[in-house]
Amino acid sequence: MTLAEKLGQLTMTAAGYAVTGPVIAGDSTAAIRAGTIGNLLNLFGADRVHELQRIAVEESRLGIPLLFALDVIHGHRTLFPIPLAEAALFDPAAWALSASEAAAEAAADGIAMTFAPMLDVSRDPRWGRSAEGPGEDPWLGAQVAQAKVRGFQGPELAAAQALAAVAKHYCAYGPVTAGRDYASVDISERSVREVHLPPFAAAVRAGAAAVMPAFTDLAGIPLTAHRELLQDVLRGELGFDGVIVSDYNAIAELIRHGVAADLPQAAALALNAGVDIDMMANAYRAGLPVSLERGLVQPAQIDRAVHRVLTLKQRLGLFDHPYQRGAVREAPATLAARRQLARTVAAQSLVLLRNERSVLPLADSPRCLAVIGPLADAAAEMRGPWAMTPDDGTQVTVLAGLRSALPATEVLHVAGVEIDGADRSGIAAAVRAVAQAEIIVLCLGEAAGMSGEAASRAHLDLPGQQRALAQAVIDAARERRTPVVAILFSGRPLVVPWLAEQADAVLAAWFPGSEAGHAIADVLSGRVSPCGRTPMAWPRAVGQIPVYFAQRPGGRPADSNNHFTSRYLDVPNEPLFAFGHGLSYGRFRLSNLQVSPRQLNERERLEVRVDVLNEGSRTARETVFLFTHDVLASVSRPLLELKGFAAIELQPGERGTVTLSVPATELRFLGLDLRPVFEAGEIEILVGPSADRRHLLAQTIELIDAG
C-alpha cells in the first residue's frame, strides 16, 4: 500500500447525504477510485452504497471495500423511542431486540457500522445529549451497553444484518461544564472510573467493534489526544483491540482546544493517542505526511492503525461479500412486525409520573375528549433527535392515535400555541374546547431539536407560551371538575413542578418514535399498563442540578432540624421524581425481603428475594430495584448504588416473588488507591420501586474476608 492508500483507510468522510457537524465534505468519488478514502458516513440506500462500493472494489488499485457508517441511534427508518426513553424499560432483552431490528433495517440500506450505543452517563438535564444516553447511573449504563452492542453486532459480525457497534463518547462527556455541550469537563479520576468508565468496560466485554472519543477535554486533555485513557486504560486495562474512530472533525479541533499549532501536530497527537480513523477532519490525509517528515509519528504507527481498520472490514465480511448488506430488500411483513415492535417498546417507555384519583386509564369511550397543545398533532417531532433518514411522514401523532383507539369518542383538537412561539392568541380556543370535553389531554414539551447534540438548555420549563396555555386549560378544567392528563415530550427531564402539582396525571413520553400516537393511546386507553421507570431524576429546580441518587453523604448530611447541614433554603434536596419512579395501573406492595447469606465473602453470590402483591384492579408490571449502601468503608461511599433490577407482571390480587442474584464481586469499590477492593464490614441491601429511600425495604449483612 502507498502512504496515500494507507491514509485513505484511516479517513472517513461524509458523502453529503446528512450533515451531523460542520459541512466539510466534497465529492468522494474520485478519492474512492484513487483509494484515498476508505470509509464513508451519512450515506445510505443500497443502490447508492453499491454504486460507490463497486468503484472501490472494482476500479481502485487495491480493491479494498468501503465501510459505510451512520448514526443508527434509535432505529433507522422505523424509529424506536430515543435511548433515554428506551432505558426506562429496564429490559435488556428489549434493548437488544430493538438494536438488532435497527441493524437489520440499516444493513438493508448498505450500512455496516453504527455510531451507537451512546453510553454517556448524564446527571445534568441541561445537557441535550442526555436524550441519547442511558441516564444517570453507571450500572444501568453498563447493562444498556452490553445489550445494545450484542443487539447491533449479533452473534456474527460478518452476517448481512450485523452492524459494527461504536461505543461512544469515550469518556466522561456527560458532566460538561454548566450542562453546555462541548464545554470542558473537569472531574476527579475517581468519578471517571466509578461513574463514566463502567458502561465502556461493559461495551468492550460485549465485544464492541469500535470506540469513539468524546469531543471534550478532561482536565485539559482532549479525549481525542488522551494517550492515558485511550492507550493505557481503554486498550491496556480494558483490553480493547478494535478501532478507535474520532468524532466529527475532532482531530482538527485539537487546534481550537489549543493543544495543536496546526493540522500535522493535531494529526500526530491523535495518532499517538491511538485514534485509527479520522472522521471528517482530513487531518490524517493532509497532516500525517507532514507529521512523518517532522518525526512526530512513525510509519509503524500508521501501519498498526491500517491493520486494525482492515481487520474490522474483514470481520464485517466486506472483503468476501462487499455487496451483501443491501443485497436483499426486506419483506413488507418484516417491516410491519418491526412497526409493531416499535409500538410495544414505545408504550413500555412511557413513564406515568402522576395519576391522581386514577384518572388513567380513560373510562371506556368518553363522549368527548379534547387534545390540546402544540405536540398533539406534531408528526415530525415524534421522531426525536438523531433520526437520520428522511421524514417519511408515517409517524403516528397523539391525535391520530387517540382517534384510532377511541372511534366512538369525539376527539377535539386545539394546538393553542406553538412549541416555542410568543403568540398566545390560540389559548382562548383551547379554553373553549375545555367546556365541551369530559377529559383533557394536554400535549406539551420540547421540539425534537431542543435536545440531542448542540442542544443544551439553561431553562428546563416548557418553552414558549406553553405554560400559559396549560395554566389556562387547567384553570378552566378545574372550574368544571374536568380531569387533565398532561403528556410531556422531551429529550430530558423537565423542571415542571407547577404542572406536576396541578395536572391530575402526568405521562413522560420523551420522543416515542414512529408509533408514538398508537403507543400513547394504548396506555391512555388501558390496553397497555404503563411500566416505564425514569432513568434520570426529575429536578424540582435547575438549581438542584446535578441531582442524582448516588451522592456521597458528606460530613453534614441534610437534617431539617439542624441549620448547619447540606440543604437549600428554598427547595428540598430531593428531586421532584426520583430515579426509577414510574406508576402503573396496578398497585404493588413489597414485603418479606430475604437476603442471604448473612455473611458474604467475595467468592459467593448475594441472593435477594422479595414478595410482591398487586393490590390494584388491573394487571401490571412492577420493576424492583436492588441498591446497596456501604455504610463504613475506607472511602466515603454513595448513599445508594444500583446493583440490580427485575420485573414481574401480576394479575389483580396476585402475589409473586422477585429474586435477584448478584456476584459479591459487584460489591467491590475503588479503594484509596483507585484499585478495586472488597472490604469486610456491614453493608445495607435495599430493595424497592425507586431510589426514593422512603419506599425501600432494607436489611444489613456483613461482608467477610474469603479467608
Q: Which residues are catalytic?
A: 247
The residue with cell 379554553 is 431
Cβ closest to ligand GLC, residue 212 vs residue 507: 212
* Cell numbers at 528, concatenated: 397497555
10 Å CB burial of residue 642 (0-12, 13-18, 19+) is buried
Closer Cβ to ligand GLC, 132 or 574, answer by number: 132
Q: Is the bond preceding 169 in cis, omega lying within 30 degrees of 0?
A: yes
If we measure between CA atoms, which residue out of 600, 614, 639, 632 comes closest to residue 689?
Answer: 614
Strand partners, 279: 12
Site string for ligand GLC, 117-156 (x = CB under 6 A): ----------------------------------------
Residues 288-347 that bind ligand GLC (CB under 6 A): none
Closest to ligand GLC by CB, 214 vs 229, is 214
Least distance from C-beta 344 to ligand GLC, angstroms? Answer: 27
Site map (CB under 6 A) of ligand GLC, residues 528-557, x = contact? ------------------------------
Cα separation of 176 and 217, whole Å? 9
CB of 138 to ligand GLC, least distance (A): 19
Kindly identify the residues of this chain, within the stretch 452-511, that bind ligand GLC according to CB under 6 A.
453
Closer to ligand GLC at the Cβ: 255 or 670? 255
Listing from the earlier edge strand, what are the strands of the sheet with 210-213? 243-244, 210-213, 164-170, 113-114, 67-70, 39-41, 11-14, 278-279
Site for ligand GLC in 165-194 (CB under 6 A): 168
Check binding of 385 to ligand GLC (CB under 6 A): no
> Which member of 105, 120, 194, 247 binds ligand GLC (CB under 6 A)?
247
C-alpha cell at 682: 456491614
Min dist CB 25 to ligand GLC, Å, is: 12
Report 437-456 residues binding ligand GLC (CB under 6 A): 453
- Residue 540 makes CB contacts below 8 A (sequence gap 6+) with 495, 497, 571, 572, 574, 575, 576
Which amino acid type is present at position 279?
M
- Taking the complex as a whole, how short is the minimal distance between the CB of residue 462 and ligand GLC, in angstroms? 27
Element (H, E) at 670: strand 669-670
Site string for ligand GLC, 69-88 (x = CB under 6 A): --x-----------------
Pick 43 or 372: Cβ nearer ligand GLC: 43
Of residues 20 and 349, the one with the C-beta less far from ligand GLC? 20
Q: How many residues bind ligand GLC (CB under 6 A)?
A: 9
Given candidates 8, 21, 65, 513, which one binds ligand GLC under the rule CB under 6 A? Answer: 21
C-beta of 245: minimal distance to ligand GLC in Å? 9
Q: Is 603 helix (H, G, I), strand (E, B) or coil?
A: coil
| Euclidean distance between CA atoms 611 and 622, whole angstroms | 12
Nearest distance, CB of residue 666 and ligand GLC, angstroms = 30
CB of 113 to ligand GLC, least distance (A): 10
Is 666 exposed, middle or buried, given 0-12, 13-18 or 19+ CB atoms closer than 10 A?
Answer: middle
Task: Give the residue with the Cβ less far from ligand GLC, 66 or 550.
Answer: 66
Least distance to ligand GLC from the beta carbon of 163, Å? 13
Query: Given the complex with ligand GLC, which of 114 and 465 has the nearer CB atom?
Result: 114
3-state secondary structure 318-376: CCCCCCCCCCCCCCHHHHHHHHHHHHHHHHHHCEEEEEHHHCCCCCCCCCEEEEECCCC
The Cα 508–Cα 486 span in angstroms is 9
Which is nearer to ligand GLC, 214 or 419 (by Cβ)?
Answer: 214
CB 60 within 8 A of CB 33: yes
Give the nearest distance from C-beta 312 to ligand GLC in angstroms. 17
Residue 319, CB-side half-sphere exposure with 13 Å CA sphere: 9
**Binding string, residues 189-228; x marks residues near ligand GLC by CB under 6 A:** ----------------------------------------
Q: Which is nearer to ligand GLC, 273 or 376 (CB)?
A: 273
d(CA 395, CA 355): 27
Q: How far is the CB of 475 from ligand GLC (least distance, A)?
A: 43
User: C-beta of 452: minimal distance to ligand GLC in Å?
Assistant: 9
Q: Which of 115, 170, 645, 678 binds ligand GLC (CB under 6 A)?
A: 115
Please say whether the beta carbons of 670 and 676 come within 8 A: yes
Q: Judged by CB, which is closer to ligand GLC: 120, or 641?
A: 120
Q: Does a cis peptide bond (omega within 30 degrees of 0) precede residue 572?
A: no
Answer for which of 9, 13, 20, 355 binds ligand GLC (CB under 6 A) is 20
Closest CA to 413 of 440, 438, 381: 440
Amino acid at 273: A
For residue 453, the minimal CB distance to ligand GLC (Å) is 5
Output the CA angle 273-277-279, nearest 5 degrees: 110
Enter the C-alpha cell of residue 534.
425514569
Residues 252-281 that bind ligand GLC (CB under 6 A): none
Grid cell, residue 471, equals: 395554566
Residue 491 Cα distances to 22, 148, 290, 656, angstroms: 23, 19, 43, 35
Q: Which is nearer to ligand GLC, 119 or 701 (CB)?
A: 119
Are 518 and 401 contacting, i.e. CB atoms less than 8 angstroms apart?
Answer: yes
Distance CA 55, CA 352 (A): 52
Among 248, 585, 625, 678, binds ligand GLC (CB under 6 A): 248
Angle between helical axes of 138-153 and 198-205 (0-180°, round to 10): 30
Q: How distant, in Å, are the alpha carbons of 16, 70, 107, 321 from that of 327?
A: 23, 18, 9, 10
Residues engaged in binding ligand GLC (CB under 6 A):
20-21, 41, 71, 115, 168, 247-248, 453
